[in-house]
Amino acid sequence: MFTPAVSPRADKIGGVATSMTDPLVGHTVDGRYHVVRRLARGGMATVYVAIDRRLDREIALKVMHPHLAEGAQGAAFESRFRREARAAAKLTHHNLVAVHDQGLDGEISYLVMELVDGENLRSRLHRRPPLTVSEALDITIEVLEALASVHGAGLVHRDIKPENVLLTQDGRVKVADFGLARAVTELTMAATGTVLGTVAYLSPELISDGNSDARSDVYAVGATLFEMLTGRAMFVGSSPIQIAVQHLSSTPPRPSDVAAWIPAQIDELIATMTAREADARLPNAEVALRAVRELRWSLSSLVLEHPVQEPAAEEPVVTDEASLSAELFDETAESRLKAPAETTALVTAEEDADDPAPAVMTSTQSLLVKPTVAQPTTASTHQVAEAAPRQSRRRSKIVALVLVLLLLGGAGATTWYLLQGPGAYTEVPAALLNADATIATDAIEEAGLQVKSATDYSDIVAAGKVISVSPSPGERVRKDSVVTVTVSRGIEHFTVPTGLLNERRKNVIAAIEEAGFEVGEIARDYYDDVDQGIVTEVSVPEGSRQPHNTKIDITVSRGKEPVTIPNLVGMTEEQAIAKAESLGLNVEIGKPRYDNTVEKDLVSRQNPAALSEGFRTDTVTIRLSLGPELVEVPDLVGKSETDAVQLLKSLGFQVDVGYMWDGQFGLVRFQDPRPGSELPKGSTVKITVL
C-alpha cells in the first residue's frame, strides 16, 4: 500500500492534491507498478508512465482523482469502476486501448492500460500539415471499427472526443477510456443530478436525461468528424451551458456551411449521425461504419486529397470536461450566460416563472427557452393615469376607430404570422431516414410541405426505404417548401459479361471492369489442354445480374504443368509405365534391342533422356533390352591367320592370337572356344597359329 505524502507547497487542483514534484513519481503502486513520470492530467484522472515489474514492460497507469471515491458515493463508485474496468478488459480489438488490470492501493484507485506511443487527435488537429479528407475519413472508420466491437458486446463508450482518439506512430488509431466515462458519469448523476462529460460531443439525450445508447456514440463520432473537416466544433460557445443548449435546441450545422468546398454527401452523412432526435440517427457504429466506407468510396480523389480546414484559434470552444450544474447559471459566477432584457432566458422545466435564478439542470430535467416579460416602469404607469380622464371624454368617438384598428391590426398580425412570421415555418419531420417511402411522404405532407421524390441505389438502405432527405430532418423551412426524398432502389445490380471463358486474361479483366465490377481473386492453375493465359473459370454465371460491389474471381490457365523426365533405364516395363504415369506422362514402347549392359526385359533406352524438362501429357518412348546378342563361333582350324582374324572381327568378336613354333606355317592349329559355341557379341575368341 502506498500513501503519497504531500509537501507544504502542495496546491489543490481539481480537488486533487498536487505538488511541484508529483508524489507518485518514483514510487511503486500495489507492489507492482513503478511510476516513472506523469504523462497527462484530466478532469477525472492523472495518467502516468509506469513499469510493470512483473512483466517488465511499460504501461499507462491511470489514477483516479481521490474526490471521486469520497463521501457516501465512494463505495458505489469503486464498485461501478471495477465492473466497468472488467467489461473493458473483456473487449479485444486492435483499435481499442487494451485494459490490463485494475485495483485499489489504499486510497489510490487505478487502471492499467496499454501504453500508446503517439499523440491524440486533438494534438494532431493543431499540427501542420492539416489532415486531408481521406485521412479524416480513415480515422473515423477506425474509430467506428472499435465502437462496432463495443456495441456488438452490448456496451457503450459515452465519451468519444478527440482527446480519447489516439494516433500511434505507425498510423493506427486507438480509442481510449472505455468504461471510465460511464462509471464517473453515473456516480456524478447519482450524487448531484448533473451530467459530467465533454459537452462539445455529448448527445442531446445524454445532456437532457442522462440516457445513452449506441446512438450517443454515433453522435459523438459525427461531431468529431465535423470538427476534423471544418476546423471547429459543431457547436461553439463561451460556456458549457451555451453549447448544451445548442445541442438540445438547434439543428447541427452542415459542414458546408463552414467550408463551402465540402460536398453534399458529407453533409448528409454527418446529418444522419448527429440528428437531434436519437431515432433519426444511424442506430449503431456498425451501420455508421458502412455508411462512412460507402461515402469514402463514392468521393473523387480531388475531394479525398483536399486539406481540411485548420482550427481557428479565435473560436470560443469549450472542450474540457465540465459538469452541467448550478454553477453555470449562478448570477455571481464569472461564466454566467448574460442575456439582454429583450432576449430569452434559460430556465428548466420545473423552474418557477417568477424566480430569476435558474435551478440545477438534473438528469430528469430538460432545458426550455422561455421569453422574459418586460414589466412596465413607474413613469409609464403615471402617464397612463393622467391620460385616463381625457380618454373617457373621447371614448365614444374613437371606440369604432379602435375596433377597426384592432381588427385591421389583428388581421395584419395574423397575415404576418402566417406569411412572414413563425407561423410561416415548420420543421421537416424527424425519423425519416430508413423509413418506408410512403410513411415518409405522408409525414412530410402532414407538415404542410410538398414532396419531390427521387430514387438512387444504396448498399446499406433497403429498397423502398428513405436514403436521404433535403432539407434535412429537423431543419426549419417555410411551409409549402419542397422536400426532396431520395428512396432506395436497393443495391445496384450489373450484368455479368458473356464470353469470358476461353478468353485471354487481359480481355476478361477489361470486360469485367467495363461492366462495372471489380476483379477479385485471380487464381492460376495448370491445364493439360488449355493454353497459358486463357481464363478457364468465373465465380459467377455469365450473363447473370449481380450486385455492383460483387468481386468476380477468375481462374487463369498456366498451360501444361512442367515436369522433370524420370530415369526409367533398368526398370521393368510395368515399373517404367507406373513411374511415368504418376507424373502425368504417357509411355510408348519402342522396338526391343540387344544390350550387353542391361539385362533382358529391362528398359535399356528412353527418349527424352532422363532429367530433361518436359510437360504433363508428354510421351516418353522406352525400349526394352533383349540382353546381349549371341553369335556362333565359326570353325577356324586350318584357316590362315589373316582369314581367321578377319572372319572373327566381321562377326563382332575380339581376337586373341597365340603362336606355336613361331607360326612358321601361318595356319590356325587350335581355337577356343570350339566351333559351334555361342558367345555374346564382342566376346574374345582365342586362336593358336602354327
Question: Counting Cβ atoms within 10 Å, is residue 151 exposed (0-12), middle (13-18) or buried (19+)?
Answer: buried
Question: Counting Cβ atoms within 10 Å, is residue 436 exposed (0-12), middle (13-18) or buried (19+)?
Answer: middle
User: Are 247 and 204 in contact, with CB atoms under 8 Å apart?
Assistant: yes
> What residue type is 439 in one-letter code?
I
User: Are 684 and 690 in contact, with CB atoms under 8 Å apart?
Assistant: no
Taking alpha carbons only, the member of 205, 216, 280 closest to residue 248 is 205
Q: How far is CA 407 from CA 246, 398, 410, 418, 420, in A?
A: 38, 14, 5, 16, 19
Q: In this structure, what C-alpha cell is assigned to residue 352? A: 418557477
Q: In this structure, what C-alpha cell is assigned to residue 670? A: 587350335
Q: In this structure, what C-alpha cell is assigned to residue 337? A: 450566460
Secondary structure class of 489 (helix, strand, coil) = coil
Alpha-carbon radius of gyration of the chain: 47
Buried b (16+ CB within 10 A) or exposed e, 110-119: bbbbbbbeee
Helices 74-90 and 180-192, interaxial angle, to 10°? 160
Taking alpha carbons only, the member of 172, 339, 153 closest to residue 239 is 339
- CA separation for the pair 383, 496 (Å, rounded): 88
Put the strands of the sheet holding 450-456 in their side by side order.
450-456, 482-488, 466-470
- CA separation for the pair 149, 97 (Å, rounded): 13
Q: How far is CA 345 from CA 358, 364, 643, in A?
A: 9, 20, 143
Q: In this structure, what C-alpha cell is assigned to residue 628? A: 546381349
Instruction: Please state the φ and ψ torsions of residue 440, each to the nearest 5 degrees.
Output: -65, -45
User: Are 178 and 127 in contact, with CB atoms under 8 Å apart?
Assistant: no
- CA separation for the pair 645, 516 (Å, rounded): 89
- CA separation for the pair 262, 131 (Å, rounded): 14
Query: At CA 256, angle to CA 254 and CA 259, rounded to 5?
Result: 130
Q: How far is CA 668 from CA 118, 276, 565, in A?
A: 108, 128, 53
Q: In this structure, what C-alpha cell is assigned to residue 335? A: 461564466
Q: Which residues pair with 210 in a beta bridge?
A: none
159 is catalytic: yes
C-alpha 113 chain-centroid distance: 23
- CA separation for the pair 278, 212 (Å, rounded): 9
Q: What is the DSSP string of 37-86?
A: EEEEE-SSEEEEEEEETTTTEEEEEEEE-GGGG-STTHHHHHHHHHHHHH
Task: Give the active site residue among 117, 159, 209, 480.
Answer: 159
Q: How far is CA 224 from CA 36, 75, 160, 205, in A?
A: 32, 34, 8, 18
Q: Which residues are catalytic?
A: 159
